[in-house]
Structure 1
């Protein structure tokens, strides 16, 4: 990704360094009294949209795993592909959506990364976003590849195997609800970190 690439990682040492940065900074700023910067508002709005889109994608992916026929499996898997790629994607099928323009999670994530690259973001926050975006992008790319494999499988069982793996990747991109288990970040841990900062402070009694 263009924003905060993980180029230069030196094996496990650097990976652990980024993990420690995330762990140490995940709760910083939650009680800050200052107004949040404009980039944070855009970040939260985009993350909320991505969370909803990935929940929808995981729902269709689960249905595809349980599909009774190969045809049903292909249709449901294609709906996941549409959500991930959007209407500009190479594998988008407009027959399965009523919207002429459907934003995809992958292009929206990349557009968000490009927009944030132009912002003056403090280094600790930048490291958190670098680490998390790289992992989310990797999980979504794997989910896309596996879903396409499931959407073209000739046998129901083989398709279900690929789609189970895709489902796991979608959940990994969403991330856990418990911040203590967010070892590789995710959409939900970022929301848990930044969304409270967008709420107005409670008035003193």
Structure 2
């Protein structure tokens, strides 16, 4: 009498499902995020804490003065993607346009990127100036709110023809969302030139 093929078929199907589940989870993790619909801040790691209001004020100030919307997003990591790719795809997914800027920060991996539409009034030189003067000094000291405030004020100054200045630094937790509170210390930055990829000018850095 021949053995029923059903147990063997079930075993094969179980093995296939087991192999597919990690791949599906990875695909979901790699997807760019949907930005908050409640404002211009998406903070998935609690990086801003009680300074959210200060960041909102800076974002509002930039829009009132220059009609530029700066969106900021804080995540643990970029899910294995480069900062440029992650930020660019997030900007595209959320339909950001020429009057928008996206600042993406991966707090655990200590990387960040910015995405700007190719038609933005901000030039590559201005973007690099703001990155080096107003964003990176804050990130090196784990001042997550200061980086967003520095970006907003820096873009406003650049568009108004004023010098971009460094923000006042208020150090924060090194790895928000994990309970870590100590500073990791300053690290060297990797500073590639801004690229035009998909949505427009993109700069990606490690800090």
Please classify the TM superposition score into its range, dividing by the shorter chain length. Answer: under 0.3
Greater CA radius of gyration, 1 or 2? 2
User: When you count helix as a share of all residues, which structure comes out higher?
Assistant: 1
Q: TM-score, normalised by structure 1?
A: 0.24
Larger proportion of strand? 2
